[in-house]
Amino acid sequence: MLAACGEEETSSDEERDPDKLYIPIVSKGFQHQFWQAVKQGAEQAAEEFDVEITFEGPETEAQVDKQMDMLKAALDKDPDALGFAALDSQAAIPVLQGAADAGIPIVAFDSGVDGDLPITTAATDNKAASALAADKMAELIGEEGKVALIVHDQTSVTGVDRRDGFLEQMEEKYPNIEIVDVQYGGGDHLKSTDLAKTIMQAHPDLDGFFGSNEGSAIGVVNAVREAGKEGEVTIVGFDSGKQQIDAIKDGVMAGAITQNPIGIGYETVKAAVDAINGKDVPEVIDTGFFYYDQSNIDDDEIQAVLYE
């Protein structure tokens, strides 16, 4: 059942089919096209394996408490397995420990959970993906200059890994590139815009920005546009979405990393079904990533993993 606000999907026991396995999927949010694509993949797998799922998430990726409430409510429905993308990889551990103790298989997706409670994690190798973003940034600015980061958070595994993957690659390979600032915008494009504008005021000779997710990257794009610095500040983003695609086609954003969100959703449900049926699942399911820019955005391989 789609909730009235259109931002989260809920179910009730009365609506559940007692003859089907039930797997709630609790995501990090709903406001980005990325999560809609994950949901699409999860629904494809649910249909293929004839299981019932629900897919829900808080309105914003800053609402850790609300996600915890959703997680508890999902587990109160006595599911057969659980899919979970943690906004805070530490905060969820006590609740997940209770689920594991009750014999409910936990499949982490997109953003992992510290410890060994999940039986597997279906996600992008975010460190490797952000290292590629760093390589592209370095290439575009001639391997020297000043770069800043707008990261979506410092509590989720994706936020930490994308930040560290980018920073470590820069430190290791590009000694003439200075990282002048790292700020956290909560994945909110308005807050990220304000942060990026402040950074450009403090560093008017800034050469590049890395935005670590859809909201962060769009915030950077808007800030650069508002400052009239299109073409002066190189932007490399992460994720897809119509505004990022348009920014790349317009030349405001140089390029971005795209994941395979449909694959993440599909593999999450598939792994949950396999675990319920006693099959072995790998510790990590790498769902892959690509760099896209004006040169390859229309390629079939890229088009298949972009989400508008």
What pLDDT does residue 14 have?
A: 52
Dihedral (Cα; 261, 266, 271, 276), 10-degree rounding: 140
Q: Determine the Cα–Cα distance for residues 161 and 163; give it in Å rounded to an integer.
A: 5
> What average pLDDT does the chain have?
92
Residues 34-41, mean pLDDT to the nearest whole number = 90
Give the amino acid at 90. Answer: Q
The structure's pTM equals 0.78
Q: What is the rounded distance in angstroms from the CA atom of residue 81 to the CA atom of residue 8?
A: 20
For residue 255, give the nearest of 272, 236, 268, 227 by alpha carbon. Answer: 236
Contact (CB, 8 A) for 259 and 32: no
Chain centre distance of CA 207: 25
The distance of Cα 62 from the centroid of its chain, to the nearest Å, equals: 13
Residues paired with 25 in a beta bridge: 55, 83
User: How many percent of the chain have pLDDT more than 70?
Assistant: 95
pLDDT tens, residue by residue, 130-144: 999 999 999 999 999
- Which pLDDT score is estimated for 3? 35
**Confidence band for 12, pLDDT divided at 50, 70 and 90:** very low
Given this model, what pLDDT does residue 61 score?
81
Q: Is the pLDDT reported for residue 8 higher than 80?
A: no
CA distance 216 to 163: 12
DSSP 2: B
pLDDT for 113 beyond 90 = no
